[in-house]
Structure 1
């Protein structure tokens, strides 16, 4: 991935901020300066394993074709399937061979990265659809159980501090390397780290494999902070300022540049950051809501936003260019402080808050920032992130780390004093110059978002009987059970089998991104067809149980293949990219009904396993689709389903999903008695 970097950040001296005048309370008083500056002090450098990570292998063309056919078989009628077989056979023995050679040649010339990295990145940046709902996902943190720390201003302060501690540890190469531990009791230990330090970096990853520890790619981590997506005509680009010392703070559509690092690059003290965020509230209280909330423009079609940004810079005052580039684009991240006029958390009425955090009216958001922390008036904290630069692994690690620290050992306590000092230079209101054309564009964006929010439906289900422990008892994959339930629910609600998407990380490889798991399998279809029959015609419980076990085995195989970069989706995409890159005629398979159906992902799913996560959500990836964020825990499973009004009935799906859960649970329960 290419990112325009305006500056390079020196780490600064550990003791350079020790002379600041500050006062701690309770926990904070016991911490040394160096502990305050860095979240972690890993004995293994952050990027210790990076150069020894294996490269993502290009799948065998014949295997890709076989996997493609297996995935389209459940969703095509007989005539469509037979035609797809003929077209794919021609591709496998004709155009596909040439494109495979071109892809292999490109991969050989770019050994520093993966074959999918650049085309996948370009796919994101060329898409002209708005970022919210179409790309930017939402993660909501669990609340702090201590009411005093749930205060909006205090929680925002602690989130900012922990974010900066994470960032500085990453820059100093002392953030713990990301490793998947198959047996954490043996390898997530200091002894394992000491042993790894003795290994040459060139073989460190393979040495870790011997202990069933699997280092993950950390290339994306550097883009967590200081990155903005810039709208362009036809294609966007990313910029990064690694020397940035400020964050973008938004309140009622007003924008402020707030310094959180001092001139040496060290984190300002807790009372200083608290004081500066408090100053934002004071300034905002005096100014009132922004008459032109420019952030709404970042929710627009990307070409429309590119036109407006160009107009702001070239046709209005030159100061706009400086403000956009040095105060907004270069900000480390965006902090959105919502007001009591905005939705807050309610267990009984959660949907308004979900919709507001996903998009809302977009007045108080800047969706182009790599990260946007949102803190509601009641202290509910959420993360809305731009997706082109990276995937869930890096974001979830950051999310988990700052949640853990802010809820277990925060630096700003309820008794922390706010010092009175000059804020003129450290808290800078951002006042972009405008005209009627911009004002109309902003108003249009707000109205469009309001309309979309009225069309967006979110339905939720929490089901207590299907749990991780139940699945473990039966030796069945929890993820397979969830995905099977989705297929059964969709068949019952809409009498069809459709393209289904489940994302799987390929971060075990250098510059890996994601691969697609296709959960709509013939094994899943067999279970669904059996359960769709009348009770008298259904197979007996033992046969149904055997079919579910078989479905789980098939699903596990697909997940393992995807995690190893051996799915078919990214390979087919990369071959198509090669045809376009070299001006080749697009092979017929890419215009076939089979390819169109498997890539029209009516069921798009994503799961995140995290003790820090209260809820997550994203929009449907197609107009007539369902966006399913799901989770299965030790004591329940649950889904949050998004859909568009008059396009797909999300409530009907959720109602049938509960029935599907009941059916599967009863089969497992009855089988338990017979085991």
Structure 2
């Protein structure tokens, strides 16, 4: 489900706050004259030297993939527990007579086909020790879905804008600094010196130099266990490479991901036109900042009118329809043009809009816009508005929030604390190529039609933002109530007041603590939340003490659901995998044709 995140939040236990660089040791000279400093940048310890300061975001004490080999594997839940959890989630959203039918289907599944499917899944998992049981099916689930990407799948994230407010040439400077920071992140990742992603249960005791020094000495085959001793949990980083040089290619029935490492050019979109220029040298090093600045200024100076037939609009289409249109584009002499787009490091979008701080305008700009100046198939698009507001829109099939949030947070901190672009130091001696498409009448008509359809889709989306600051975690914690549980309950209560009945609800939980983990569904609509909703809506409300007990019980149940999900003990992904096993064996359990199963997978609240 598409969504919006503003920097400054805390997601999945990973802080997105910004802090400055603090040197924690004196400069040291090693070997040849070389400035070599141990740096703590927001608790990410790494080596920094004068020769590579521009080229790398960091040179971590721990190699990027130091923990990857020894990550634990995603567990397959017990069949009985999955069925029990499924029934527990169905109970508050079904009428009693329908629930009894669902319970019977579950009992039959446990006695018959369920065990066959479970045994087959376990066997398949044992034969694929390098991955998780859900990784490939979940990739396929995304890639076979035929719905358009924008709004349905591609989320957005929005940067704060305080660092460049009122700056002259604000769009140019902001874009250049974000691009340079992105390239520094890319090179650190490529050369295995980006710090590994680790969730620290007690940061004061583990997010320090001692932890890194100890685990660095351990072989990669056991390094995870060393981290576990500190109550620190390394996260899966297998999705990180797909941040760059990756595009989702539309094909009939099932899309594919195209990953082309080694390509050195950046894609830039402005007013529906496409431009490319190299941002990496042949040896993989980053082009000088004055050249990157000059290339972007060249593109802005072209000042072309909005493209009459913007090809990017085609990426808003239903996937099979776009696959047919793309095949026609290739057959009419546009294969090289598409290849330049597909293989680019990422997409930089320079928009003419100035949304200001209006949250609704920001959402509309970064989540969907009008499609003219977008290529939604790229792994991510870095979007910079005319007034300097910036954000990301990313394609979701290749990965989840962990990789994107890490990139998002790191480049924000780097581009604001150590900006490299200087408007007084600009060099125009760089080759910028405009991508020209050959469009026949059929394709021009297709673009026009796609634009009209997308415009209607965007108009059907209603966006409202509530910024409520008089309530937060400081109030919840003293009462032993989880802030997340309170937020999820507020959604349930609001919907109950509007509609009068509970509906299937989705909250995402990450299983990235496991090798090739993806996400698991948390089901916030529980018997406990509905009991509390009814108590608050009845004429004679319970006492404050009784209400507090109901809130605490809701929180306990929700927190347990979250814990189960992130530990790979949810029921949704497991049942999805069992359903695929049944289909592969020609089995047709009544459980999966039950309207209740289809219903719970059609989420109304998310």
TM-score normalised over the length of structure 2: 0.90
1:33: how far off? 3.7
Partner residue of 1:239 out of 258, 267, 279? 258
Q: Compute the RMSD of aligned alpha carbons.
A: 1.4
Cα offset for 1:31? 8.2
Partner of 1:265: 284
Q: Hey, what does 1:561 align to over in structure 2?
A: 564
Equivalent position of 2:356 in the other structure: 345
SS in 2 for 1:214: strand
Aligned partners of 2:355 and 2:362 also within 8 Å: yes
Matched, 1:600 2:602: yes
Equivalence for 1:119: 137
1:151 maps to which of 170, 175, 186:
170
| Cα distance in 1 between the residues matched to 2:482 and 2:433 | 52
CA contact (8 A) 2:134 2:573 kept: yes
State the match for 1:194 in structure 2: 213
Of 288, 302, 305 in structure 1, the residue corresponding to residue 305 of structure 2 is: 288
Q: Does 1:417 align with 2:417?
A: no
The CA distance in 2 between the partners of 1:558 and 1:567, in whole Å, is 8
Equivalent-residue separation in structure 2 for 1:567 and 1:447 (angstroms): 41
Tell me if structure 1 keeps the 8 A contact 2:298–2:428: no
1:140-193 deviation line (CA, Å, top 9, x unaligned) = 111133433880010000000000100100011000000001111221111210
1:35 partner SS: coil
Distance 1:447 1:343 in 2: 23
Gaps of 5+ in 1: 1-29, 605-675
Equivalent position to 2:398, from 386, 389, 393: 389
1:208-219 superposed matches below 5 A: 208-219=227-238
Aligned match for 2:319, one of 286, 302, 306: 302
The Cα of 1:264 is off from its aligned counterpart by 1.7
CA drift at 1:292: 1.5
| Other-structure match for 1:520 | 525
Distance 1:248 1:555 in 2: 44
Give how far 1:35 is off. 1.1
CA distance in 1, matches of 2:55, 2:249: 31
Note the 1:636-647 alignment, pairs <5 A: none
Distance 1:149 1:513, change over 3 A: farther
Instruction: Report the CA distance between 1:471 and its aligned residue.
Output: 1.4
Per-residue CA deviation, residues 503-546 of structure 1 (Å, 9 max, x unaligned), is 00000000000000000011111111100101xx2211101001
Counterpart contact for 1:181–1:187, Cα < 8 Å: yes
Contact 1:334 1:372 in 2 (8 A): yes
- Asked if 2 retains the 8 angstrom alpha-carbon contact of 1:360 and 1:450, the reply is no
Summarize the Cα distance change of 1:420–1:63 in structure 2 as closer, same or farther, 3 Å threshold: closer
CA contact (8 A) 2:164 2:388 kept: no
What is the Cα deviation at residue 363 of structure 1? 0.5
Shift of 1:234: 0.5
Among residues 378, 394, 397, which one is paired with 1:369 in the alignment? 378
Contact 2:245/2:345 (<8 A) preserved: yes
Shift in Å at residue 568 of structure 1?
0.1
SS of corresponding position for 1:459: coil
Distance of aligned partners of 1:150 and 1:143 in 2 relative to their CA distance in 1, 3 Å threshold: farther
In structure 2, distance between residues paired with 1:32 and 1:371: 31
* 1:346 Cα deviation after fit: 3.6
- Asked whether the equivalents of residues 124 and 388 of structure 1 are also in contact (C-alpha less than 8 Å), the reply is yes
Contact 2:158 / 2:390 at 8 angstroms: preserved in 1? yes
C-alpha displacement of 1:200 = 2.0
How far did residue 343 of structure 1 move? 4.8
Sort the Cα spacing of 1:149 and 1:109 in 2 relative to 1 into closer, same or farther, 3 A. farther
Measured in 1, the distance between the counterparts of 2:306 and 2:186 equals 32
Per-residue CA deviation, residues 97-156 of structure 1 (Å, 9 max, x unaligned), is 111111111111111000000001000000111000110001111113343388001000
Q: Using the TM superposition, give the Cα deviation of residue 427 of structure 1 relative to its aligned residue in structure 2, in angstroms.
A: 1.0
Q: Please give the alpha-carbon distance, in whole angstroms, between the structure 2 residues aligned to 1:416 and 1:572.
A: 59
Give the aligned partner of residue 41 of structure 2: none
Q: For 1:434 and 1:44, how far apart are their aligned partners in 2? A: 50
Report if aligned partners of 2:317, 2:450 keep a CA contact under 8 Å in 1.
yes
Partner of 1:99: 117
| Contact 1:498–1:597 (CA under 8 A) maintained in structure 2 | no
Figure out how many residues of one structure are paired with residues of the other and give that number: 558
Partner of 1:70: 88
The 1:31/1:153 distance shift into structure 2, 3 A limit, reads farther
| Bigger mean CA offset, 365-374 vs 199-208 | 199-208
Whether the 8 Å contact between 2:164 and 2:170 is mirrored in structure 1 is no
Asked if residue 329 in structure 1 is aligned to residue 331 in structure 2, the reply is no
- 1:451 aligned to which of 445, 456, 476: 456
- 1:87 is aligned to 2:98: no
Aligned-residue offset at 1:593: 2.4
Give the Å deviation of 1:247. Answer: 1.1
Residue of 160, 185, 202 corresponding to 2:179? 160
1:48-107 deviation per Cα after TM superposition (whole angstroms, max 9, x unaligned): 000100000110000000000000100000001001010110011111111111111111
Q: Equivalents in 1 of 2:437, 2:162: separation in Å?
A: 36
Q: Give 1:497-508 correspondences, 5 Å limit.
A: 497-508=502-513
Q: Which residue of 2 aligns with 1:4?
A: none
2:553 matches 1:550: yes
Structure 2 residue aligned with 1:205 = 224
Structure-1 residue corresponding to 2:52: 34
Are 1:179 and 2:187 counterparts? Answer: no
Partners of 1:403 and 1:205 lie apart in 2 by 29
Cα distance, 1:357 vs. partner? 2.0
- Cα distance in 2 for partners of 1:486, 1:435 equals 49
Summarize the Cα distance change of 1:150–1:512 in structure 2 as closer, same or farther, 3 Å threshold.
farther
Asked whether the 8 Å contact 1:154–1:412 carries over to 2, the reply is yes
CA distance in structure 2 between the partners assigned to 1:195 and 1:519 by the alignment? 40
Secondary structure of the equivalent of 1:603?
Answer: coil
Shift of 1:288: 2.4
Within 5 A, what are the aligned runs for 1:444-483? 444-483=449-488
CA–CA distance in 1 between the matches of 2:515 and 2:68?
7
Aligned partner of residue 37 in structure 1, secondary structure: coil
Q: Equivalent residue of 1:461, what SS?
A: coil
**How far off its partner does 1:581 sit?**
2.7
Contact between 1:144 and 1:150, CA under 8 Å: does it hold in 2? no
TM-score by length of 1: 0.81
